[in-house]
Structure 1
Amino acid sequence: MLVALVTAAVVGLTPGAASPLQKGLDGVVAIGAVAEVRDGGAVWRGSSGVAELGSSRKVPVAGRFRIGSITKTFVATVVLQLVAEKRIRLEDSVERWLPGVVPNGANITVRQLLNHTSGLYDFKDTLPMPPSAEFYALRYRTWTAAEQIERALANPPVFDTPGSQYDYSNTNYLLIGEIIEKATGRTYAEEIERRLIRPLGLHGTTLPGTSTYIKGPHPHGYIPKDGGQLDFTEMNPTLFGASGDMISTTRDLNRFFAALLGGHLLPARLLDAMKTPGTSGGSYGLGLSWHDTACKVRVYGNDGDALAYQAYSFSTEDARRQVTVAVTPHLPDNPDKSVDAFVDQAICR
């Protein structure tokens, strides 16, 4: 599919708008935070807190961060482009693409993987987590999707009938990554790079593979350890794989979602499918989530938790108003409510 580039004038919002936004960002509960707010052609960028504990260095406004499960929206977009090209069908079974891998795979579809209605056990729940000593020991371990999937599928499904319930599982997107490779002969990372990153000019966005570093300017991220905060900026992102390994910037995420919601990446029927919940009354479609702000304006996007980084990117349906926020949380404090308040402020002005 030919990808149309999205352009926007990068100009500042009026000082009267910028000051409240900075105050709102300062209210986000985190070690550091960075945000970009767009309103038509006007753009506001700001940061708050510190880039590294023990220093006064500011969070770089154009800094990079791990985006966690926002990766899933990129992966889903690639799958839907392959659907548009008639190379994959949403109703294809997992067994069709990955024979013998998934028990009951003949009754689980690509659509159900994308919208988390497969019932498959989440591999994340098989892993040690902080403050377990085993968790810290695995920091630089390289994982393969096959071994993570095997760990997950050693557990029974969380419900028996695929498609009947919603249950968020990272295993779904590890399988989707494997299906992309079967369908194209290229990894999901290669397909995201050639279909989305390069055409859209997402210069701050990478799929790091096994690299433990965040290249370029970035805030440090932390996790709890022994009553303090351990710098966890460096880690092997194969832990997340196709479910959440990407690195990006606030500018790039807003640009991506503007292209997606603006109809530049998918045919209208598939964008509509992306915005259709997997279960009645749900708020998660095919790699895309949504919620209503305090002013009753619905926003579409995704959020992601990458242990030491949390990211949130939401846009109005017409992509005129957008807000992307990334934080380095002071765990175990949860920044969700304070970020929600900032998103409301940015969208409802």
Structure 2
Amino acid sequence: MPRNLLPHDRAVRRRRPRVAAALALAASLVANSVALASPAAATQSSASQTGDEARSAQLRRLARELVAAGAPGVIARIDDGDGRPVEIVEQASWTRRDHLLKAGDEVRMGSNTKTMMATLVLQLVAEGRVALSDPVEKWLPGRVPNGRTITLRMLLNHTAGLFDYTEDPALRPSILGRDRRRWTPEKLLAVGVKHDPLFAPGTKWSYSNTNYAAIGAVLERVTGTSLVNLVRDRIARPLGLRHTYYATDSTWRGPYARGYEPDAAHMPPTVPAGLRNFAGTRHDGHVDVSGNDPGWGGPAGAMVSTAQDWARFSTALMSGKLLPAAQLAQLRATVPVDPREPDGAGYGLGVQTSATPCGTFWGHDGGIPGYLTTNVTDRAGGRTATLIVLAESWAEYGSDPKLAKAAQAFQLAAICAMFGKAAPAHTG
């Protein structure tokens, strides 16, 4: 569950349900902003087109280039808040024997799950049932080291200092789809806290899926209700999100996008030996991992959704439909991801923010085998962008620079288009 949109730190540093991917991208977006051309240069070849048409054409070209660089498929949805959203679908020819990709296909959202978990906590805060200052010991007595000094806020903004459970070898069979055991939030938390804390609570920032395993356990303890039902009753049903749900097994509820990873023979050498052999149907040098169980992602990365559903959620969240103003302000209260860059990316409660030459975005990303997703919006939720690449290991381990470069170009162009601005020049 990495993040590739914001500063990358693999949804689990190497496996954080891809919030890492989103976070990671944010950082890479800023790092690569020097490649931006002036609006005039960016649209020079499209002088006869309107700004919207030029941006749409460039996005489609960059999506094709991303597939040509090695992505099995790409889905994107960009809404600049002033017209009909642009939907883009591209897929590699070899994937067509499995299914014809559509913009409304369900995908695994990985670490974007964290944004929904934080929303649920803040709803309970608004109802007076929990407080962000509550020590985790209050709700999970004896379950978490330093539990008397780790608050719910620290869990939500990744300053608790807990080891990331996805780094433990016990998770590898599940990550590879070779172990279908049922992982509850409590079991995932237990794996993470077997390891020594990384630092004293509140003293540093470090992305850890274990933080959200603890959050999930707290949510179920406080409400007496499963995360499946909490997501359904408090978010999905009220917003009419028909294809959004918390997954506890490999079952899909609607048409879904197939996600892929290279097979063992084609896996880049930078990928660790223990994470090279995914379960699933093999063909064309890849493994179809879409039938594998994402339950190991738990409260840190098990959500399923579509580009349109998630855009609706992002708009509802950032516009104040899901949270009162006081709790929305808490969600946006950030800590630096890198203290050496005080003006760099910040992480709030289940969301990250970063500045680009086209505007400041809020969002998250997620990475889980077969799916790298990035969801961003503006501060008010009036503009949204969702970007989905149907493969993830390349972003986790820096194993495919060509694909990474194409993805960064597409992501930055999409974010600029979301802000209604000229897309960056493609430096290809």
Q: Same fold (TM over 0.5)?
A: yes
Count of aligned pairs: 332
Any unmatched runs of 5+ in structure 2? Answer: 1-50, 266-284, 395-399, 423-428
Secondary structure of the 2:363 match is strand
For residues 256 and 52 of structure 1, do their structure 2 counterparts lie closer, same or farther at Cα, with a shift above 3 Å needed? farther
Secondary structure of the 1:91 match is coil
Residue 329 of structure 1 aligns with an amino acid whose one-letter code is A
C-alpha distance in 1, partners of 2:378/2:62?
A: 19
Cα drift, residue 251 of structure 1: 0.3
Most deviating of 314-323 and 31-40: 314-323
Q: Percent identity?
A: 33
C-alpha distance in 2, partners of 1:136/1:191?
A: 28
For residues 250 and 128 of structure 1, do their structure 2 counterparts lie closer, same or farther at Cα, with a shift above 3 Å needed? same
Contact 1:128 1:135 in 2 (8 A): no
For residues 15 and 343 of structure 1, do their structure 2 counterparts lie closer, same or farther at Cα, with a shift above 3 Å needed? closer
Counterpart position of 2:245: 206
Counterpart position of 1:292: 355
Cα drift, residue 186 of structure 1: 0.6
Contact 1:32 1:51 in 2 (8 A): no
State yes or no: 1:316 paired with 2:373.
no
For residues 276 and 99 of structure 1, do their structure 2 counterparts lie closer, same or farther at Cα, with a shift above 3 Å needed? same
Residues 262-281 of structure 1, C-alpha deviations (whole Å, 9 max, x = no match): 11111222112111113463
Contact 2:78 2:417 in 1 (8 A): yes
State yes or no: 1:77 paired with 2:139.
no
For residues 166 and 53 of structure 1, do their structure 2 counterparts lie closer, same or farther at Cα, with a shift above 3 Å needed? same
Contact 2:231 2:245 in 1 (8 A): no
Contact 2:174 2:180 in 1 (8 A): no
For residues 101 and 57 of structure 1, do their structure 2 counterparts lie closer, same or farther at Cα, with a shift above 3 Å needed? closer
For residues 25 and 345 of structure 1, do their structure 2 counterparts lie closer, same or farther at Cα, with a shift above 3 Å needed? farther
Residue 84 of structure 1 aligns with an amino acid whose one-letter code is A
Cα drift, residue 329 of structure 1: 2.2
Counterpart position of 1:342: 413
For residues 181 and 51 of structure 1, do their structure 2 counterparts lie closer, same or farther at Cα, with a shift above 3 Å needed? farther
Q: CA-atom RMSD, angstroms?
A: 2.3
Pairing partner for 1:265 from 319, 322, 325: 322
Secondary structure of the 1:102 match is coil
Cα drift, residue 17 of structure 1: 4.3
Secondary structure of the 2:246 match is coil
State yes or no: 1:250 paired with 2:311.
no
State yes or no: 1:22 paired with 2:60.
yes
Residues 127-138 of structure 1 mapped to structure 2, 5 A cutoff: 127=169, 136=176, 138=178
Pairing partner for 1:180 from 196, 219, 224: 219
C-alpha distance in 1, partners of 2:57/2:349?
A: 36
Pairing partner for 2:75 from 19, 26, 34: 34
Structure 1 runs (4+) deviating above 6 angstroms are none
Any unmatched runs of 5+ in structure 1? Answer: 1-12
Residue 153 of structure 2 aligns with an amino acid whose one-letter code is R
TM-score by length of 2: 0.72
Pairing partner for 2:87 from 35, 45, 66: 45
Contact 1:51 1:60 in 2 (8 A): no
TM-score by length of 1: 0.88
Residue 37 of structure 1 aligns with an amino acid whose one-letter code is I
C-alpha distance in 2, partners of 1:150/1:51?
A: 43
Contact 2:109 2:371 in 1 (8 A): yes
